[in-house]
Structure 1
Amino acid sequence: MGVKRSYLLGAALVILGAPAALAGAELDLPHLNVVPRTEAEQARIDTVTQPTSSFDTAEPFETNPGGAATVPAGTDTNAFSHPSANISFERELDFKLGNGLFRKLWVSSPSSTLASDGLGPLFNARSCQRCHLKDGRGHPPEDPDDSTVSMFLRVSVPASADEAMSEIEAFLLSVGDDTPRNRPDPVYGGQLQDFGVQGHAAEYRLGIEYEEVEIALSDGEFATLLKPTYTAENLSYGPLAEGAMLSPRIAPQMIGLGLLEAIPAADILAAEDPDDADGDGISGRAQIVWSFEHDRPMLGRFGLKAGAPTIREQSAAAFSGDIGISTPIFGAPFGDCTDAQPDCRAGPHGDGDVRVTEVDAEGLDLVTFYSRNLAVPARRDVDNPQVLRGKEVFYDTGCTSCHTPKYVTHRLEDQPEQSFQLIWPYTDLLLHDMGEGLADNRPEGRASGREWRTAPLWGIGLTEQVNGHTRFLHDGRARNLLEAILWHGGEAEAAKSLVVEMPREDRDAMIRYLESL
């Protein structure tokens, strides 16, 4: 059996419901040098990752959500910007070089700074850091002229029946997956850029209108949610294609990505229950995506709908789509510009020198290493009585059905920072139907217009400290953690209803617990 065919078989076994352990290795990460677990190790892992039923005190090692890579929480805005605590001196130098590239402000071509030119011509930000502010979350615009906004709209249109299918679409169809097929807008591409270099008009201006929605809570309390409507205004190349679907995005926090990448695929796939066979109302599904770097189906882990399989590929996609910078994975120097934008495609670019692409392989590796090693801060107040009560409420309400507390990462030969760590990310990395309220109505890969990847919760209590705001969810509509919970629907409707109905004291305790993460 050929290599590619064997990987396809592995993915097919997952989608068709074969045991995850049988197919997990086929969907795992080919660039990881994994040391297989022994039976004794697996038995220990199975024991330590069992959900707790005791809430009188914190669990062993709960203060270190990133395992040995955990760093002290700190009290300033740099809490998300530290390297893994267990990194060596030599590797910390690579981390700092990657940090420099992550923060670099790209400029348009031609420029005397040849290592920094190639921006755009159309773009959403001039650096990675401009979206992931202080390596944390972006936020929606507070006013029309807000220059610190880090939000954009993805766009796609339904594929016509006679269009040729991509490899992943053909593969999914062959195993019975009827996910709707999408294409980028024929003019505007896969996302809308709100900036352009000199001589190139921005594609659009983001428009948001909010409607207030009041929710009655127990004990006579009320919460007010902001229901957003998004529009693409001032379109420079004419209207969007018929049936265009828009999906808002703000940048998520960057901490712990290398640890998420090191979770065995089999452990993630083991939690799949697409048909809700156990009847608990939760039916998580794995995202299966095509890896452009490895030319094969892989388990999606990164992005709000788990659309990227690796940190390196996610980084390359952001360079291309957000900044208009070419990499060895996505080599187009004009980023997301389409054939219908000839001026953008013909504009001056920064490729073609000794680097070949605007970010060469070494630069992409350094950014990947930096992103992989942004450390998770330590928990706070783990033995506080209100925090412990909030933890019990969180578990009893069923939140851990999706926000899985614990994993043990792969044992890795050349990634000591991520190797064989007990971690507490509070995510299953699966797709879940979150209801009509959070639906963007835009499918992405296997994800429907109502499905999102479970967001990791580690570090969420430090958002205000790092980013100066408490805006949550994929588009920042929630202004605090309670609002984020109240937007949950679909598979999370039952858990959300329990939060609405529980005594205020328990609700406050659960929020206090989340703030300690």
Structure 2
Amino acid sequence: MSRTSPFADLPPCGGDARQGRGGCLPQRHDLSEQDLQRVETVTRPTTDFSKAEQFEAMSGGATTTIAPIDEKVFQQFSANLPFEDEQNFKLGKALFEKLWVSAPSSTQASDGLGPLYNARACESCHLRDGRGRPPEAGDATSTVFRLARPPHDEAERRMVADHEVLNLPDPAYGAQLQDSAVPGLAAEGRLKVSYTEEQVTLSRGETVSLRKPEYAVADLGYGRMDPTTTLSPRVTPPMIGLGLVEMIHEADILAQADPEDRDGDGISGRAALVRDRDSGKIALGRFGWKAQNPTIRQQAADAFAIDIGISTPAANRSHGDCTKAQNACLSLPTGVQARLGPVEAPDPVLGLVTFYSANLAVPARRKAGFPQTLQGKQLFYEAGCPACHLPKYVTRRDAPHKELAFQLIWPYSDFLLHDMGEGLADGQQVGVASGREWRTPPLWGLGLTKTVSGHTFLLHDGRARNFTEAILWHGGEAEMARSAFVAMSRDDRLALLSFLESL
């Protein structure tokens, strides 16, 4: 396959192009010139912090849910979803919550689990479609260890460079550590985490304690790992707004990329280029902690295959993440049934789960116009946070589902890869993302983490116990924003935290 990126040869300035932070980029062809001007005006960063912006409380545009704020608020469908599509949403929800069982089973519609797995249902990790938590009291259901090693030879290096693979799995344990197995088979191991406390001094002598994690694997069931294999813990992110993210035009994300830091602001976000397995083409990665997947469908298919061990038309891996070194795993029966086709979850299972995931609504903002929220918003801007946490976009007018089309949305992310410093580095390359780079996570729904998920753990591995700790772990390209937060007065920090709480 070609190694050429569709974004490698950007057009010269002028003509059918516009200026981005890192150079000239393609125009949006889904908009008329008049609409393009409207979009550029409405998405321009505000300079007026005396009142809430127009439509600011509607984080997901017309899709925004105004359902009661309770533990189920992330489980609502898009407010403008046509009535005839509600059935597919509910069917997708049922499949998302479905518990799979090992094969062979009398419940043939549900067998095929594993043989090695992390969870029996999507809902097990994405409880109430909310944020996962780090391992505690022996429960690691919503945290996984991603495993990868560097290329060992030129052929493997070329596979990564050509986007044929994101990275190389551990020879014995595969791409992810599975801590559960079907009866009669040994699990791969257990996640272990321990913390040491480190003190950080803020302005006027106030101190905050950060917990620094150390990770290990206990009870390895299949021998030693490759000595070069890296462990990357990942908690499950919230599910809201995914369909809107998929409908952000590529040009609007690429306009924020500045890999060479041409504007000299210290922020050099990079686009994650990955292989879209459905089309075979190089595409813009948007989903996952390192933006490793270009579409919700591909993200869901990988979760079915790796997390649960269920094959789908988009990832035909009926033995899940079993490796050639795990003969006992590969010898076990699968849930494939000839009458239903070559995979354990044939169409329309993946399509319905994808539809459900794409239409989980973002809740409306709270207190967007309150004085302390507006003060915190101004401090957020002055600290430089929007350089990565870009507030707003207008989705594609030509979106295939009309409820997601031409919506003003407020995700607070540029969806690019950024070097976040050594403190947050996992040392694991994923596609073009280095061991220090992470995709900017969207902030919408952030203040509802406690309500929905029952905790306030943040960041890719849940090490931060609150907003303050999450900000203080920022480094690398975010060091200047972190320093601005450290230098704030206590009242200003509280105002900024109030703004984050309102999202």
Q: Pick the TM interval, shorter chain.
A: over 0.9
Structure 2 counterpart of 1:68 = 62
Decide which of 307, 312, 316 is 1:327's aligned counterpart.
Answer: 312
1:213·1:224 contact (CA, 8 Å) conserved in 2?
yes
Q: Name the SS for the 1:184 alignment partner.
A: coil
Shift of 1:329: 1.2
Decide which of 147, 152, 162 is 1:170's aligned counterpart.
Answer: 162
1:10·1:24 contact (CA, 8 Å) conserved in 2?
no
Decide which of 453, 457, 479 is 1:467's aligned counterpart.
Answer: 453
Shift of 1:402: 0.1
Shift of 1:164: 4.3
AA partner of residue 77 (structure 2): P
- For residues 285-336 of structure 1, what are the alpha-carbon distances to aligned partners after superposition, in whole Å with 9 as ceiling and x for unaligned? 0000112221111100000000000000000000001000001111010111
Shift of 1:353: 3.1
- For residues 334-382 of structure 1, what are the alpha-carbon distances to aligned partners after superposition, in whole Å with 9 as ceiling and x for unaligned? 1111111121112111113333211112110000000000000000001
AA partner of residue 252 (structure 1): P
Runs of at least 4 residues off by over 4 Å: 14-25, 164-168
Decide which of 482, 488, 493 is 1:507's aligned counterpart.
Answer: 493
Q: d(CA) in 2 for partners of 1:121 and 1:16?
A: 53
1:11·1:298 contact (CA, 8 Å) conserved in 2?
no
Which structure 2 residues correspond to residues 153-232 of structure 1 after superposition, within 5 A? 153-165=145-157, 169-170=161-162, 182-232=167-217
- For residues 379-400 of structure 1, what are the alpha-carbon distances to aligned partners after superposition, in whole Å with 9 as ceiling and x for unaligned? 0001111001000000000000
Structure 1 counterpart of 2:121 = 127
Shift of 1:11: 3.5
1:24·1:265 contact (CA, 8 Å) conserved in 2?
no
Decide which of 282, 294, 301 is 1:297's aligned counterpart.
Answer: 282
Q: d(CA) in 2 for partners of 1:13 and 1:346?
A: 48
Structure 2 counterpart of 1:116 = 110
> What TM-score does the superposition give when structure 1 sets the normalisation length?
0.92
Decide which of 2, 12, 20 is 2:8's aligned counterpart.
Answer: 12
The answer to whether the aligner puts 1:267 opposite 2:252 as a matched pair is yes
Shift of 1:182: 3.7
Structure 1 counterpart of 2:232 = 247
Structure 1 counterpart of 2:350 = 364
Shift of 1:414: 3.3
Taking only aligned residues, the RMSD between alpha carbons, in angstroms, comes to 2.2
2:417·2:437 contact (CA, 8 Å) conserved in 1?
yes
Structure 2 counterpart of 1:288 = 273
Q: d(CA) in 1 for partners of 2:25 and 2:431?
A: 19
Structure 1 counterpart of 2:368 = 382
Shift of 1:171: 6.7
Q: d(CA) in 2 for partners of 1:407 and 1:436?
A: 31
1:182·1:444 contact (CA, 8 Å) conserved in 2?
yes
Structure 2 counterpart of 1:104 = 98
Which structure 2 residues correspond to residues 343-492 of structure 1 after superposition, within 5 A? 343-356=328-341, 357-412=343-398, 414-492=400-478
2:12·2:24 contact (CA, 8 Å) conserved in 1?
no
Once the two structures are overlaid, the 10-residue window that deviates more, 469-478 or 212-221, is 212-221
- For residues 188-233 of structure 1, what are the alpha-carbon distances to aligned partners after superposition, in whole Å with 9 as ceiling and x for unaligned? 1111000001011110111101010111111331111110010011
Shift of 1:14: 5.8
The answer to whether the aligner puts 1:79 opposite 2:73 as a matched pair is yes
1:190·1:336 contact (CA, 8 Å) conserved in 2?
yes
1:69·1:87 contact (CA, 8 Å) conserved in 2?
yes
Identity %, equivalent residues: 53
Q: d(CA) in 2 for partners of 1:470 and 1:95?
A: 28
Report the CA distance shift for 1:38/1:229 in structure 2 as closer, same or farther (over 3 A): same
Q: d(CA) in 2 for partners of 1:376 and 1:181?
A: 30
1:489·1:496 contact (CA, 8 Å) conserved in 2?
yes
> What TM-score does the superposition give when structure 2 sets the normalisation length?
0.95
2:163·2:274 contact (CA, 8 Å) conserved in 1?
no
2:118·2:141 contact (CA, 8 Å) conserved in 1?
no
Q: d(CA) in 1 for partners of 2:11 and 2:419?
A: 17
Q: d(CA) in 2 for partners of 1:366 and 1:491?
A: 39
- For residues 38-88 of structure 1, what are the alpha-carbon distances to aligned partners after superposition, in whole Å with 9 as ceiling and x for unaligned? 111000000000000000000000010100000015221001000000001
Q: Name the SS for the 1:352 alignment partner.
A: coil
Q: d(CA) in 2 for partners of 1:154 and 1:24?
A: 35
AA partner of residue 10 (structure 1): P
Q: d(CA) in 2 for partners of 1:316 and 1:171?
A: 18
Q: d(CA) in 2 for partners of 1:15 and 1:95?
A: 41
Q: d(CA) in 1 for partners of 2:193 and 2:163?
A: 38
Q: d(CA) in 1 for partners of 2:109 and 2:346?
A: 10
Structure 1 counterpart of 2:38 = 44
2:395·2:408 contact (CA, 8 Å) conserved in 1?
yes
2:117·2:306 contact (CA, 8 Å) conserved in 1?
yes
Structure 1 counterpart of 2:502 = 516
Q: Name the SS for the 1:211 alignment partner.
A: strand
AA partner of residue 264 (structure 1): H
Q: d(CA) in 1 for partners of 2:430 and 2:261?
A: 22
AA partner of residue 440 (structure 2): T
Decide which of 468, 483, 496 is 1:497's aligned counterpart.
Answer: 483
Shift of 1:9: 5.1
Shift of 1:160: 1.3
Q: Name the SS for the 1:229 alignment partner.
A: strand
Shift of 1:16: 12
Q: d(CA) in 1 for partners of 2:12 and 2:95?
A: 42
